[in-house]
Chain A
Amino acid sequence: MNIFKDPVLLVFSLLGLGLVTWLVFYYLDKTRWRKVSPWSYIVLSVMVIISAFPFYWMFIVASNGNEEISKNPPTLVPGGRFLILMGHVFDAAPTFGLSILNTIFVGTTIAVAQVIFSAIAGFAFAKLNFKGRKFLVLFVIGTMMLPSQLGIIPLFMIVNNLGWGSTLTAIVVPALVTAFGVFWMRQIIDAQIPNELLEAASIDGAGVIRVFRSVVLPIIAQSSFVLGLFAFLGTWNDFLWPLLILNDPNQFTVQVAVNQLSASYTIDYALVLGGAFLATAPLLLLFILVGRQLVSGVMDGAVKG
Chain B
Amino acid sequence: MATATKKPQTPWRVSTQAPAKKKKSQKAPDGAVVKSLNGNWGYLFTAPFVVMFLVFGLAPVVYSVYIAFFQWDPLDMTHTFVGIANFQRVVADDQFWLAVRNTFSIWALSTFPQMLMAIALANVLRNPRLKFKTFWRTMLLVPNITSVLAVAIVFGQLFSRDFGLVNLAREWLGMPNHINFVSETIPGHIAIATMITWRWLGYNALIFLAAMLAVPNELYEAAAIDGASSWRQFTNVTLPGIRNTITFVLVVGTIGGLQVFAEPLTLAGGESGGDSRQFSTLTLFLFEQAHMGNWGYAATIGIMITFIVLIISGINFFFTRRIANGENVQ
Which residues in A have some Cβ–Cβ distance to B below 8 Å? 1-3, 6, 8-9, 12-13, 17, 20-21, 23-25, 27-36, 40, 43-44, 47-48, 50-52, 54-55, 57-58, 61, 69-74, 117-118, 120-121, 123-130, 133-134, 136, 140, 143, 145-158, 173-174, 176-177, 179, 182, 187, 190-192, 194-195, 198-199, 202-203, 207-209, 211, 233, 236-237, 239-240, 244, 254-255, 258-259, 262, 267, 269, 272-273, 276-277, 279-280, 283-284, 287, 291-292, 294-295, 298-300, 302-305
Is there a chain A Cβ closer than 8 Å to B240's Cβ? Answer: no
In the assembled complex, B9 has its CB within 8 A of some CB on chain A: no
Complex contacts, A304 vs chain B, CB 8 Å? 22, 25
Contact with A along B244-262 (1 / 0, CB 8 A): 1100110010010011011
Do A54 and B198 have beta carbons less than 8 Å apart? yes
- Asked if residues B138 and A299 are in contact (CB atoms below 8 Å), the reply is no
Contact for A40 among B124, B143, B298, CB less than 8 A: B124
Taking a contact as CB atoms under 8 Å apart, the answer to whether B230 and A302 are in contact is no
> Are B36 and A8 interface neighbours, CB within 8 A?
no
- The answer to whether residues A35 and B146 also contact, given A47-B121, A194-B28, A299-B16 and a CB cut-off of 8 A, is no
Q: For B41, B136, B151, B305, which residue has the most chain A Cβ atoms within 10 angstroms? A: B41
Known: A121-B45, A146-B61. 17 other contacts (CB 8 A): A1-B186, A9-B179, A30-B230, A31-B127, A54-B198, A69-B163, A124-B46, A128-B34, A129-B42, A149-B282, A153-B290, A153-B302, A156-B290, A157-B74, A190-B25, A273-B154, A298-B206
B137 touches A128 (CB 8 A): no
Residues in B neighbouring A258, C-beta threshold 8 A = 147, 149-150, 153
**Residues of the B chain whose Cβ atoms lie less than 8 Å from the Cβ of A156:** 290
**B127 in complex: contacting residue of A40, A125, A154, CB < 8 Å:** A40
Whether the Cβ atoms of A124 and B41 lie closer than 8 Å is yes
Verify if B139 is at the interface (C-beta below 8 Å from A). yes
Q: How far is the CB of B317 from chain A (nearest CB, A)?
A: 10
| B81 CB-CB contact with A under 8 Å | no
Nearest CB on B from A222, distance (A): 11
Q: How far is the CB of B232 from chain A (nearest CB, A)?
A: 10
User: Residues on B close to A: CB < 8 A?
Assistant: 16-19, 21-22, 24-25, 28, 30-43, 45-46, 48-50, 52-53, 55-61, 63-64, 66-67, 74, 113, 116-117, 120-121, 123-125, 127-131, 134, 136-143, 145-151, 153-158, 162-163, 165, 168, 170-171, 173, 175, 177, 179, 184-187, 190, 198, 201-203, 206-211, 214, 220, 229-231, 234, 244-245, 248-249, 252, 255, 258-259, 261-262, 266, 269, 282-283, 286-287, 290, 295, 298-299, 301-303, 305-306, 309-310, 313
Assess A3 versus B186: contact at CB under 8 Å? Given A32-B230, A151-B60, A298-B206: yes
Central interface residue in B28, B56, B121, B259, by most chain A CB within 10 Å:
B56
Contact present for B143 and A17 (CB under 8 Å): no
Q: Are B146 and A74 in contact (CB under 8 A)?
A: no
The residue in chain A whose Cβ has the minimal distance to the Cβ of B229 is: A29
Per the bound structure, the CA–CA distance linking A9 and B231 in Å amounts to 32
Q: A24-B116, A147-B305, A291-B138 are in contact. Are A177 and B49 (CB under 8 A)?
A: yes
User: Which residues of chain B are within 8 angstroms of A150 by Cβ–Cβ distance?
Assistant: 60-61, 64, 302-303, 305-306
Task: Determine how close the nearest CB of chain B comes to the CB of A159; give it in whole angstroms.
Answer: 8
Nearest to A16 among chain B residues (CB) is B113
Provide the bound-state CA to CA distance between A159 and B252, in Å: 28
Q: Which residues of B contact A174 (CB under 8 A)?
A: 52, 56
Q: Do B141 and A244 touch (CB < 8 A)?
A: no
Q: Is the CB of B287 within 8 A of A262?
A: no
A204 to B47, CA, bound (A): 27
Chain A binding surface, main DSSP class = helix
Q: List 28 A-B contacts (CB under 8 A).
A: A2-B186, A3-B186, A6-B179, A28-B123, A28-B231, A31-B127, A33-B127, A36-B130, A44-B124, A52-B142, A54-B155, A54-B198, A58-B154, A72-B163, A129-B39, A130-B39, A140-B53, A150-B302, A151-B57, A151-B61, A155-B56, A158-B59, A190-B28, A208-B38, A255-B149, A280-B146, A280-B147, A302-B211
Asked if A207 and B38 sit within 8 Å, CB to CB, the answer is: yes
Report B-chain residues with C-beta under 8 Å of the C-beta of A134.
31
Nearest opposing residue in chain B for A69, CB measure: B163
Contact A61 B49, beta carbon cutoff 8 Å: no
In the complex, what's the smallest C-beta–C-beta distance from B6 to chain A, in angstroms? 17
Q: Are A27 and B57 within 8 A (Cβ)?
A: no
Residues of A near B37 (CB, < 8 A) are 127-129, 198, 202, 208, 211
A34 touches B129 (CB 8 A): yes
Instruction: Tell me, in angstroms, the Cα distance from A47 to B56 when the chains sit together.
Output: 40
Closest approach, in angstroms, between the C-beta of A115 and any C-beta of chain B? 12
What residues on A are CB-neighbors of B59 within 8 Å?
151, 154, 158
The answer for the CA separation of A32 and B146 in the assembled complex, in Å, is 35
Name the residue on A nearest B55 (C-beta): A158
CA distance A155 to B32 in the complex (A): 36
Complex Cα distance, B151 from A233, in Å, reads 15
Assembly CA distance A147 to B157 (angstroms): 30
* Given A48-B139, A130-B43: A6 touches B210 (CB 8 Å cut-off): no
B124 contacts A302, C-beta separation under 8 Å: no
Establish whether residues B22 and A303, one from each chain, have CB atoms under 8 Å apart when the complex forms.
yes
Q: Pick from A12, A207, A305 the residue with the most CB of B within 10 Å.
A: A305
Q: How far is the CA of A3 from the CA of B252 in the complex (A)?
A: 29
Pair A305/B244 contact, Cβ less than 8 Å: yes
Q: Establish whether residues A124 and B179, one from each chain, have CB atoms under 8 Å apart when the complex forms.
A: no
Given the interface contacts A69-B163, A273-B154, A305-B244, does A28 sit within 8 Å of B234 by beta carbon? yes
> Contact check: which of B63, B175, B283 meets A240 at CB < 8 Å?
B283
